[in-house]
Structure 1
Amino acid sequence: MIDERHYYVYILASGIGGTLYVGVTNNLFRRIPEHKERKADRFTARYGVDRLVYFEAHDTIDAAIAREKRIKRWRRSWKVQLIEKDNPNWDDRFAALRP
């Protein structure tokens, strides 16, 4: 469940095995629609990266940013493993988050 007192590291994909984007936010309900509407980021808009395939919560912004930076440095294969551990079909998890 999404809690507004947390910070989130998330991974978006353009599709199964597609382009990946790693980001951080304090509000997934605001940020993910920005990506879907192509308003958030030039990279995600250009490559159609708007499928929420992974996210995790952190108690502090510092912890979330540190984790985001760490994941961004990972090899692609490690990111794919992280996604597929709980989301083998790369489903868009955003719709399921809505209350």
Structure 2
Amino acid sequence: MPHLDYLRRLVTLLSATMIGGMIILIILFVIRFQQDILNVPPEITLPSGVTPIAFTQTRDWYAVVTQENKILLFTPKGKLFQTVEITQ
């Protein structure tokens, strides 16, 4: 039956495409989550003993979240202008 052969080929092609897509997704996740380096701009000088765990920026300020449960806010020139203590 030619219709069944055609259907079998379509199912095989779809299965191969799905398997390939899953392999690509897994590889991308592994590559993305292996990057532990936090790129803080060179203008920012963190206080001694501070370990950054997250970083974000806007046009007007930079924010660094530290392992010590603080958010440090910096101007674009790198001057610390506010520290926010995080309490749980």
Taking structure 2 as the reference length, the TM-score comes to: 0.22
Higher relative contact order (CA 8 A, sep 6+): 1
User: Larger helix proportion, structure 1 or 2?
Assistant: 1
| Greater Rg over alpha carbons, structure | 2
